Amino acid sequence: MTGPSFSKNLTITVILSQYNRISGGNRILLEYANRLHEMGHNLRLYVLAKPSRWYRIDHWQRILNKTVIKLPSEEIDWMDNKIPINVLTCNNEKLIPDSDIILATAWQTAYFIAPLSDSKGKKFYFVQHDESLWTRDKNKARKTYFMSLEKIVVSTWLRNVLLEKYHQETEILINPVNDKIFFNDRIRQNNALRVCLLHHDYDWKGYKDAIEAIKIVRSNNCEIHPVVFGEKLQDPSYLFKDAGFKFEYHYRPTGEALRQLYGSCGTYLCPSWFEGSGLPSMEAIACGAALVTTNTGGSQDYAIDEETALVSPPQEPKKLANNLERVLRDETLRQKLVKNGYQKIKEFSWEANTLKLETLFKRSLISSK
């Protein structure tokens, strides 16, 4: 397969492990795909089939009738997506069209594209996390980082992980925030005590640590108004029961609703044990919140302790609570973090990143002539 000149528009196939779940990782991937599409490149989104079992009668049709289910771009209802979605009923190479570039986006997709013929495209691996830290198939995830795929990472921490643990050189594109969606409208009142956090059922997201930290803050007679959002739980009653107190809860906020939610809160609390980047933290900062976070790894690109955020070690709720209480009691400190954090987030640009990604793709193709 011959490479194009720099002026040629590319045909790019992006392989997703799933598409309908709201996540920072999915948002980043779809943002790049749509921006490359707007630049004139031909983008195609393919979603891997769920594992099929021969002993399941209801799976036989998928196994025997290898096809692609075509869905409209509007199927992704939580962001402005312009690219149709192709869902594989069976993970078969024949269902993937030829292209210039093919992009893996998670460890499962790396296994899928690695053995594909060269006609399917120059192979890239967009790494958004060290998935071996949390996936059930840790060894399988680790093996993908040794594959001969050109790797792109989203944070300095991930670049160092792949270099030190896997001896892999990578390109880095630090995640930006879409400032047309997430911005500070400065129309906010009495929000200093409102603390926003994400509910997630993955242990490593640290939700239980956050609740423990909030309990400690409350026990110190420090006023706090938790504001929780999430996409997995429509009825938060059991969260109230586990926490021992009620709080404001928002189910599946997206777009303008999410921006207003961030903007209504004076502080964003991130208790994760590790993050490839941590897009919600960055979005909240862009909307004018001060960040209180654990050292998630990926947060190191924007969370500088005592300057742009207050940072504590993961899985230590007492230290997280101490930082949270400092921000709630010290408005001067909170405003400093808001100002410095906002300036830091503005250093990362979607336009610059998309142009760099386009250049990486084209240079790779030219070098393979």
Q: Give kind and range of the element (H or E) at residue 15.
A: strand 11-16
Judge contact between 270 and 292, C-beta under 8 A.
yes
The pTM of this model reads 0.93
Which CATH architecture is the domain 194-345 placed in? 3-Layer(aba) Sandwich (3.40)
Q: What is the pLDDT of residues 56-68, one digit of tens each?
A: 655 556 566 778 9
Instruction: Output the pLDDT for position 59.
Output: 55
- Domain 11-176+349-367 belongs to what topology? Rossmann fold (3.40.50)
The candidate with the shortest Cα–Cα distance to 269, out of 369, 193, 365, is 193
Q: What is the mean pLDDT of residues 291-312?
A: 98
pLDDT at 272: 98
pLDDT tens digits, 164-196: 999 999 999 999 999 999 999 865 556 899 999
**pLDDT above 70: percentage of residues in the chain:** 93
* Average pLDDT over every residue of 97-121: 97
State the pLDDT at residue 232.
83
Please state the rounded mean pLDDT for residues 258-272.
Answer: 96
The whole-number pLDDT of residue 216 equals 98
Q: 2-28: per-residue pLDDT in tens? A: 444 455 899 999 999 998 888 899 999
The share of the chain scoring above pLDDT 90, in percent, equals 85
Helix (H, G, I), strand (E, B) or coil at 320: helix
Separation of alpha carbons 129 and 151, rounded Å: 12
Looking at residue 4, what is its pLDDT? 43
Gap between the terminal Cα atoms of the chain:
8
Helices (H), the chain: 24-38, 60-64, 107-113, 138-144, 156-166, 207-219, 237-243, 255-263, 279-286, 317-329, 331-345, 350-367
Q: With 50 as the cut, is the pLDDT of residue 156 above it?
A: yes
Residue-wise pLDDT tens digits, 204-236: 999 999 999 999 999 999 999 999 999 888 889
For residue range 23-45, list pLDDT tens digits in order.
899 999 999 999 999 999 999 99
Which sequence spans correspond to the domains of the chain?
11-176+349-367, 194-345
Averaged over 269-295, what is the pLDDT?
A: 97
Which single residue is written with the structure tokens 């771009």?
73
Tokens of 293: 């976070």
* Mean of pLDDT values over 306-329: 98
- Report d(CA 166, CA 52) in Å as an integer: 31
Same fold, 11-176+349-367 and 194-345: yes
Check residue 132 and give its pLDDT: 96
Average pLDDT value for the chain: 93
Q: What is the pLDDT of residue 364?
A: 95
Q: Is the distance from CB of 85 to CB of 73 less than 8 angstroms? A: yes
